[in-house]
A and B are shown apart, each in its own frame.
Chain A
Amino acid sequence: MHRLILAATLTMLLLVTPPQVRANELLVCPECPLRDVQQAIATAPVGATIRVRGGVYAGPVVVDRPLTLYGENWPAIDGGGQGTVLHVAAPDVRVEGFIVRGSGTNHDREDTGILVTAPRAQIVGNQVLDSLFGIQLLNAPDGLVKGNLVAGKPLPEPQRGDGIKLWYSPRAQILNNHVRDSRDVIVWYSDQTLLQGNVVERGRYGLHFMYSSDSLVEQNVLRDNSVGIYLMYGARQIVRNNVFFHNRGPSGYGLAIKETDGVVTEANLILRNRVGLYIDNSPISQGVINHITGNWIAYNDVGLLISPATRSNRILENTLLENLEQAAPQGGGTLDHLTWADSGRGNFWSDYAGYDADRNGIGDLPYQNRALSSVLTDRSPLLAFFRFSLVASALDLAARAVPLFQPAPRFTDPAPLIQPTPLPELPWSVSPPSRTDAFLSLALLPAAALPFLFALRRSPRLALAEAAKAPRPPAPVVLASVAPSAATAVCTVTDAAVVQVYGLTKRFGSRLVLDHVSFSVRPGEAVALWGPNGVGKTTILRCLLGRTAYSGTVTVFGHSPLQDGPAVRAHVGYVPQQLPLLDLTVGELLTTVARLRGEPLERAWERLGVFGLQHTWHQPVRTLSGGMQQRLALALATIGDPPLLLLDEPTANLDTTAREELMAALQQLREAGRTIIFASHRPDDVWRLATRVLRLEAGRVVAESRAAALPVRHDIHQSLILELDADALQPATHLLTAHGFAVYREDQRLRVLVPPQRKAEPFFLLARLGIQVRDFQLEVTDGW
C-alpha cells in the first residue's frame, strides 16, 4: 500500500513539474527556447538526445551527426510538399515517435519521408504520411526499421513511390511495420535482411526482392497487393509463416519465385490470390533444390503455377484446397519432373477422387491432373474464358470416357494425403464465418414458399369444399332458381338487336370460309346456325367472341368484339364442343371462372348445384364423363348470368341420356329469356331449341326461317342419303321438299331427313317422276 502511494506521488510530481532536461539532452517545443529541430541538431553534441514535443516543425531536417531524435506526443515534421522531409546522413541515428509528412513528388530525386544514407540507423515507431517514398535505406547497412506506419501519397499506383526501400543495405531488420497504399517494399542488393511481422497492403508488390540473398521473411501479412512477395535473382531465401491474402493485381501472385536458388517456402497460408504460388525457372543453379513444404494454398484461382522449365523443386505435404485450378504448368508442358512426394507422403488435394482402403492416411490411387479443358487452355489462354462452362465439363467428361482423347497427365502425385496438413502458425487470426448469415439464409426458404401460398391461399372455396364433402343428393336442374346477378344489370339488354352481323367475311389463306354473312339476333331469341361440318358455324361464333379477325361488321351489345373483346365476352357465356381437359379440379375451375366474371363463390356454388355437379367439387375436370363435362361447361357459361350464350355443337359428343339432360337445361335457359346462338348439325337439337334457324351452306346463309315454320320432327332419327344424276338433283330436291321432307344437298348427293315410318317414301316419289336413284345410304344419325 505504501509503495502504491509512493508511486502515485512520484507520478504526480513528474506530471506537474516542468520538463527537466537531463544532461546531453535538448528539448524542442513550440514554447521552448529551442523551437527549430534543425537548429537543435546543429547545436547538439554527438550522441545527444533531442526530445521534440508535440507541434508542427518545418522540414526538411537533416541529421548529420549520431544522435537520437525522440518525439513526444507525436510532433510532426512537415516537408510542405517539397523534397525529402527527414534525411539521416550520419551513422547510429535513432528517430522515434515522429509524424513525418509532406514530401515532394519528384521521382528523379526520389523525394522521401525518411531517407537514411548511413549505417546502423534506427527508425522506430514513426508515422510516415503523405510521402512519395516512405522510408529509404540507401547504402545504409545494419539498419533497423521497426513499428512504423507508412502510408503513401494518394496517387495512382504507377506514380507512387516505395513504402520501404532497401538499396545496398545489408543486414537490415524490417520489423512490425505497417505499409499501405504505396508501390513496393523493395529489398534490392541487400543480403541477410530480416523481415518479420510486417503488414503490407494495397500496394503493387508487397515485398520485392532483387539480387538479395540469405533473407528471412516470416510472420508477415501481405494482403490486397498486386503481388504478395516477388523473389527475383537471389538465393537461400526463407519464407515462412506468412499470410498471402487476396493479392490479385494484373500479375496477381501470392508468392512468386523467379530464378532464385535454394528457397525454402514453408508453413505459409496462401489464400484467395489469383495465383497462389508462382515458380519461374527456380532454382536456376545446378544441384540446388527449392523446398515448398507445409503450406496451405487455398481458394486461389490457380494454386500452383509453374513454368515448365522449372526443375528441382520438392513440393511436399502442402494442402491444396479448393483452388479453381489446383496446379498448372505455365503455357503447357508437364510438371512431372518436380518432386511431388517423398517417403510415401505427397500433398493434400481437395479434389482427389481416390480412396484410402488401408487407412494409412495416403490415397491408394495417385492424384493425377489431366483435364482436357485445362490442357487446351494451356495451349490457348483465350480458352480460359470457358472455365466453369458446361462445354468445358463436357470436354473433360468426354476425355475421361474416351481414353483416346485423354491427355497425358500434367503431373502425378503418387502419394496424395487423405487429410489436410495442420494449419500453420500465422500472424493472422482466421475469423470464423458468420453463423448469423447462415441462419439468415434460411429466410430464403419461406420466401420460396410465398408464391405457392399465394396460389393456395385460403379462400371461400375451401369452406365451400368442406360443405361439398357432406353427401347430398344431386340438386334438381332448376335454372330459374338462379336469379339474375349484378353482371346482368350492367349489360344493356333492350329490344334492340343483341347481335348484328353484316357482310361478315372470313378467309383462311385463299380459302373463303364465310362469305358476306348477315343476320341479327334479338333478345330472348334462340338462333341455330345449322349446316354441315365445315360450313363456317364455329367461325361465326369465334367472330362473335372476338377470337378471330374478319372483314365486315359485327356488333355484340353494340360493341365490336375485335376492339372490345374482354368487355364483350363479359356478357357472353360460351360452351365449347368439348370442355378442355384441364388439370384443375371442378372447384378450382369454377372458382377461377367465377372470380374472372365477378360472381360471388357462394352463387357459383349454387349454380353448380343447379346442374347437379356439387359432388364433383374435388374431382379433376379430366375425370368427368362427357355429359358431366358439358353440364359443367354450361354451368361455367352461365356464371355471371351473361345475357347471351354461344354454344358450339354442345351435344356433339354426348350419348342420348347426356344429350337429353343438356337440352333440357338449355331449354330452361331459353325459357328464362336468355339469348342463345348455337351451332349444330343435329336437326332435332335445332328444332327443339331454336326459335329461328339460319341455314348455312358454303359459308353463306342460304335460308332463314322461324322455328314455328319448321315441321315438328321430334321423331326423326335417320337420314337417307341419295346418290342421283347431276341433272336430277334440282328437281328431286323440289319434289321431296314439297312432300314435307327436309332435304339438303351434299355435292352430288341429297341428304333427306326421314321419320322411321317414311323411309321408303322418297324412293316412290322419285320413281314416280322417273328420277333414278343410283345408290343410297341410310344413316342412323339424325342429320348432319
Chain B
Amino acid sequence: MAGNTVLVLAQKELRDALRNRWFLADAVALLVLSSALSLLVFLTGATSPVSGFGRTAASLVNLMLLLVPLMGLTLGALALASDRERSALEFWLAQPVGTGAYFLSKALGIGLALAAAVTLGFGASAVFLLFVGATDPLAFLALTGLTILLAWTSLTLGLLLSSRCSRTSTAVSLALGLWLVLVLLGNLGLMGTALAVRLPPSWLLGIALVNPTEAYRIAALRLLAGTLELLGPAGLYADERFGATLPHLLASMLLLWSLVGGFATYAILRREVLR
C-alpha cells in the first residue's frame, strides 16, 4: 500500500510540476539555451572537418551549472512551503499517508520532473553536438546522468530549506540565496582565499568539493575533456590522486548530498508534522 501511495502521490506531483510556472519557465530556458549553444557548436563544427571538446561545448557545463541548481532549489523550496501555506500538507497527511511516503513521493515526483527536463535539454543538445562529433556519446550520456544527480542534489537542498519555512516567499528567497552562494559567492570567496593564503592544490580541491556544484563541474569537465589538466595544478592533483575513478567519486558525492539532504529534510519534516 505504501508503495502504491508513493506512486499515486508522485504521479500527482508530476502533474503539479506540469502546471508549475517556475518549472516550466526553467525547463524551457534550459531547452532553448542548451539547444542554442549546441547549435552554435554545430555551426562551428559543421564548417570544420575536425571535432572535439571545445570552449562552446564547455559552456554547456556552465549553462547547466547556472540553471539546474536554480531549478532544483526553487522547486524544492516551493514544494513543502507551498503545501504548508495552502494547508495542503494537512490535507494530504489526513489521508492514509505517512510522512515518509508523503516526502518520498514529493521528492520522487519532482525529481522525475527535473530528470525529464534535464534529459529533454540534453537530448536536444546531443543531436547537434554528436552530429559534429563534439563529444563522445557515452561521455555525454554520463554527463546527462551527472546533471540529473546535480538536479536531485539541488532539489533535496531546496526541500531542506522548505522544510523549515512556513511561507513560500521565504523559502524561495532562501533558495535563491543558497543558489547564489553555491554557484558564485562560494567560489568567489574560495578564489580570494586561494590568492590570499596560497592554498595548496589539494586543499583547494578539497574545499571546493564541499560545494556540490563544484563537484559537478569537475566531474563534467573530466567526463567531457577526459582530463583535468585544464584546471591547472589542482586539476592535475585530482587526476594524479584519483585518476579515472574521479567522476565516479564525484557522482557518489552528489548522490550522498542528495541522500543526506533527503534524510535531513525527512527528519525535520517529521518533527514539524508532529509538533
Contact = CB atoms under 8 A, between A and B. Distances in A.
A224 B117 CA distance: 38
Contact of A448 (B120, B195, B204, B205): B120
A296 B50 contact: yes
Interface string A258-289: 00000000000101101000000000000000
A747 interface: no
Interface of A: 248, 250, 252, 269, 271-272, 274, 296, 298-299, 301, 321-324, 350-351, 376-377, 380-391, 393-394, 419-420, 423, 430, 432-435, 437-445, 447-452, 454-456, 508, 545, 547-549, 562, 565-567, 569-570, 572, 574, 576, 578-584, 588, 592-593, 595-598
23 contacts: A298-B52, A299-B52, A321-B44, A322-B57, A324-B225, A324-B230, A389-B62, A389-B214, A394-B188, A420-B47, A423-B50, A434-B130, A443-B123, A450-B116, A451-B14, A456-B18, A545-B93, A566-B5, A566-B96, A582-B88, A593-B95, A595-B8, A596-B97
A723 B83 CA distance: 42
Nearest to B111: A451
A389 B187 contact: yes
Given A447-B123, A576-B90, A324 B54 contact: yes
Contacts of B184: 390-391, 394
B124 interface: yes
Interface of B: 1-2, 4-5, 8-9, 11-12, 14-16, 18-20, 44, 47-59, 61-62, 65-66, 83, 86-88, 90-91, 93-99, 101, 109, 112-113, 115-117, 119-120, 122-124, 126-127, 130-134, 137, 140, 144, 183-184, 187-188, 191, 194-195, 198-199, 201, 204-205, 208, 214, 217, 221, 225-227, 229-236, 273-275
B96 A578 contact: no
Given A384-B233, A452-B14, A584-B16, A321 B50 contact: yes
A31 to B, nearest CB: 51
Most buried by A among B4, B48, B98: B48
Contacts of B49: 423, 430, 432
A391 B55 CA distance: 16
B18 A455 contact: yes
A595 B137 CA distance: 41
Most buried by A among B116, B201, B275: B116
B52 A576 contact: no
Contact of A301 (B5, B91, B130, B225): B225
B187 A269 contact: no
B34 to A, nearest CB: 12
Contacts of A380: 194-195
A385 B205 contact: yes
B234 A385 contact: yes
A722 B98 CA distance: 47
Contact of B113 (A299, A388, A451, A549): A451
A388 B14 contact: no
Nearest to A583: B19
B65 A390 contact: yes
Given A452-B116, A456-B15, A566-B96, 13 more contacts: A274-B230, A298-B52, A321-B48, A381-B233, A385-B201, A388-B59, A389-B62, A444-B126, A445-B119, A565-B99, A566-B1, A580-B83, A580-B86
Contacts of A419: 47
A269 B48 CA distance: 12
B117 A448 contact: yes
A385 to B, nearest CB: 4
A386 B191 contact: yes
Nearest to B137: A437
Nearest to B2: A566
B187 A441 contact: no
Given A383-B232, A384-B235, A430-B49, A596 B96 contact: yes
Given A386-B187, A432-B133, A452-B14, A271 B50 contact: yes
Contacts of A382: 194, 198-199, 201, 204, 232-234
Contacts of B58: 324, 388
Nearest to A324: B55
Contacts of B217: 388-389
Contacts of B90: 547, 576, 580
Contacts of B198: 382
A398 to B, nearest CB: 11
Most buried by B among A269, A377, A456, A565: A565
A6 to B, nearest CB: 49
Contact of A569 (B94, B109, B275): B94
A739 B190 CA distance: 80
A468 to B, nearest CB: 18
Most buried by A among B12, B62, B187: B12
A298 B50 contact: yes
Contacts, number: 260
B232 A451 contact: no
A304 B188 CA distance: 28
Given A321-B48, A390-B65, A582-B86, A381 B55 contact: no
Contacts of B18: 452, 455-456
Given A440-B137, A588-B15, A596 B95 contact: yes
Contact of B119 (A432, A447, A455, A569): A447
A271 B116 contact: no
Contact of A384 (B5, B112, B231): B231
A548 B90 CA distance: 11
B194 A592 contact: no
Contacts of A451: 14, 112-113, 115-116
A389 B65 contact: yes
A699 B53 CA distance: 69
Nearest to A296: B50
Q: Which 6 A-B pairs have the closest CB atoms?
A: A433-B133, A322-B54, A384-B232, A299-B52, A444-B123, A455-B14
A301 B229 contact: yes
A120 B208 CA distance: 60
Contact of B130 (A430, A438, A593): A438
A447 B115 CA distance: 10
A509 to B, nearest CB: 10
Nearest to B194: A382
Contacts of A390: 62, 65-66, 183-184, 187
A381 to B, nearest CB: 5
Given A382-B199, A388-B221, A448 B16 contact: no
Contacts of B235: 384-385
A380 B197 CA distance: 12
B131 A581 contact: no
Given A322-B55, A351-B55, A430-B49, A448 B123 contact: yes
A248 B50 contact: no
A120 B74 CA distance: 76
A427 to B, nearest CB: 15
Most buried by A among B51, B117, B199, B208: B51
A548 B49 CA distance: 67
A433 B55 contact: no
A269 B115 CA distance: 40
Nearest to B63: A390
Most buried by B among A269, A298, A385, A562: A385
Contacts of B205: 385
B4 A595 contact: yes
A430 B50 CA distance: 7
Given A441-B126, A548-B275, A582-B86, A299 B117 contact: no
Contacts of A444: 119-120, 122-123, 126, 144
Given A248-B227, A384-B235, A582-B88, A547 B273 contact: yes
Contacts of B115: 451
Most buried by A among B11, B122, B208, B221: B11
Contacts of A351: 55
B12 A588 contact: yes
A738 B198 CA distance: 88
